[in-house]
Chains A and B, each alone.
Chain A
Amino acid sequence: MSQSLFEKVWEAHAVKELSNGQTQLLIGTHLIHEVTSPQAFGMLRDLNLPVAYPNRTFATVDHIVPTDQRQEPFADPLADGMVKELRKNCEETGITFFDLPSGKQGIVHVVGPEQGITQPGTTIACGDSHTSTHGAFGAIAFGVGTTQIRDLLATQTMGIGKLKVRRINVNGELRPGVYAKDVILHVIRKLGVKGGTGFAYEYGGSVFENFSMEERMTVCNMSIEGGARVGYVNPDEKTFGYLKGRPYSPSGDDWDKAVENWSSFASDPDCQYDDVVDFNAEDIAPTVTWGINPEQAISVEENIPTVEGSNESDKDLVAEALEYMKLPEGQPIKGTKVDVCFIGSCTNGRLSDFEEAAKYLKGHRVADSVKAIAVPGSQIVDGICREKGIDKVFEEAGFEWRGAGCSMCLAMNPDKLIGDQLSASSSNRNFKGRQGSPTGRTVLMSPVMVAAAAVRGEISDAREVFGVGELVNA
């Protein structure tokens, strides 16, 4: 019988049915970080339980690490304590820790793929909702809570109900200046922030076939913002090409066997989906958010919505968002003054994100009124950018080039908005207060669009600022 990748991976990892009707699912790869794991280790100690499969859990530190003053002890004693706690927990249990001195530290969703730990046909979990990122490799990857981290440490399994699968096709050719970030913002705008509840999103179509692994990761990363706990792309030659030669990838004879095995997990061409949604690539524009959740997004060419013109059921939320964002309804979003520009995060903090933005930033200057920071997703990304001189391009343009971490995506480290500053951000959430100030405002967009906002000091169309794509000759 024809099956989707989701069903095949589920079947290969299902242990048994639990008394509540959920499935006990084996999670082959467990990733942990400093914020959501310490309590889980505490619970294990209270129950006097060992870590069942320490070789299948991998740790790194990302959320609270400072991106400028990185030597320990950190200025913030709470942050310092969290790193030490994770270090101690890993030492005691034998879990591999991509620690700060390792040169491999970074955002957990950048490190996993980079090390070749993230592989097709596997199950992955992490106490972080953006774990869906790893689905780019044809893995089924779940964000979980801390009690489930405890379950995973103790048993390498968790209880979970099976999801339905929605196939999302994006066919055609993206217009120049339209990026993976725009694709996922467009999908969420159309399907809603709760549209994916109960679903795994399988992304396909020519746009995804043409996407690099890093572009696929950007899209899968934000599946959770559309309510889908899991998002994935079927593995193909690009997936295998990316994984070949990475530290945790199979090698030698094992490599060919692994590729054969990985290929077998791809959805069968005639499999039945619970739902199918089609998008035309040509309909997608450079997209920015204007509100307080990622569904509240428009093309950079559009006007900010009005309460009056919104659906009856959305009116309250539109009004709440406009008030919080202090944006004028009905006016163009383009030209909105920005105070801070941030390029980084598990959504857009990879090599190609910095490469692409640097290509256009070269020869431009960040506006005087703007504070701009670039934060590589991992020490490895940082190192490659430095080798290629990308850090210099950013610095010469007026960006601060920082050390690896989550940084201003959620501002658990010293990188924060102040007061009601407005941030043009390549991250994934524009929730109220998300970037560290209770009144701070976030506008999500692609890294190149952030670069354009930094140069102009206002939300801008990168195609006009830099001559990206079709508007060059317009």
Chain B
Amino acid sequence: MALEKITSVSGAGVYVPGNEIDTDRIIPARFMKCVTFDGLGEYLFYDVRKNENGSDKDHPLNDSRFSEASILLSGANFGCGSSREHAPQALYRYGFRGIIAESYAEIFFGNCTTLGIPCFCAAKEDIEAIAASIEADPSVEITLDVENERIRVGDQSYTAVVRETARKALCEGKWDMIGELKEGESQVAAVVGKLRYMAR
């Protein structure tokens, strides 16, 4: 199974400020009553984007200036809480291909990487500077250079951190692990054989 080597992603950005944005906020639980991930993009950030009567609230994702955005910027501990993959699936299906935040919750980070969504960690002031560039020109192209751990915005460049395991997986086209895990079948069987509880 040949996967795309994700060495960089580019696109317009949108800044959703705030720390501790949890996966319940990214996709409220009531939209998880489904047996496929299709259509989840529609419900992304639903309760902070929509009033109860379905009309729009004031939210960056409802601002037409940012409707082309494929890079999401946010604050610290992004994606905390529930392990629901519905959250990165909703982000992906909405159109996001990369995220810049101060930090991420562990499970969310892993789920994103498995879907081929690079999660960049950047300093708060750099995120705010990039957000200011977006505000000044919503069409400004943001490039997440996965290979070199840099963020380029117009002629500005910022350092970022991409966890090494994720960087390698994305750049080498091994972010979906199923192939590699399957290759280890006989080694798995050997470990299984050593553990008594596995025999039950």
Contact = CB atoms under 8 A, between A and B. Distances in A.
Interface string A262-297: 000000000000000000000000000000110000
Interface string B171-200: 010101110111011011001101111101
Interface string B59-77: 0000000000000000011
B84 interface: yes
B107 to A, nearest CB: 6
Contacts, number: 217
Contacts of B192: 26, 53, 156
B178 A42 contact: no
A16 B22 contact: no
Given A143-B107, A145-B84, A148-B110, A82 B35 contact: yes
Given A13-B191, A194-B77, A411 B29 contact: yes
A320 B17 CA distance: 12
Contacts of B48: 432
A86 to B, nearest CB: 9
Interface residues of B, number: 63
A68 interface: no
B166 A20 contact: yes
A119 B30 contact: no
B35 A38 contact: yes
Interface residues of A, number: 85
Contacts of A293: 20, 22, 80
A12 B185 CA distance: 16
A155 B81 contact: no
A15 B184 contact: yes
Given A154-B182, A411-B30, A39 B35 contact: yes
Interface string A1-43: 0000000000011111011111010101100000110110010
B24 A431 contact: yes
A220 interface: no
Interface stretch (A122-130, A333-341, A378-386): A122-130
8 contacts: A20-B168, A22-B165, A82-B33, A145-B83, A194-B20, A224-B81, A261-B196, A411-B29
Interface of A: 12-16, 18-22, 24, 26, 28-29, 35-36, 38-39, 42, 47, 49, 52-53, 55-56, 63-64, 76, 78-79, 81-82, 85, 119, 122, 127-129, 131, 143-148, 150-151, 154-161, 193-194, 197-198, 224-225, 227, 229, 248, 250, 254, 257-258, 261, 292-293, 316-317, 320, 410-412, 429, 431-434, 436, 438-439
Closest 3 CB pairs of A and B: A145-B85, A145-B111, A438-B47
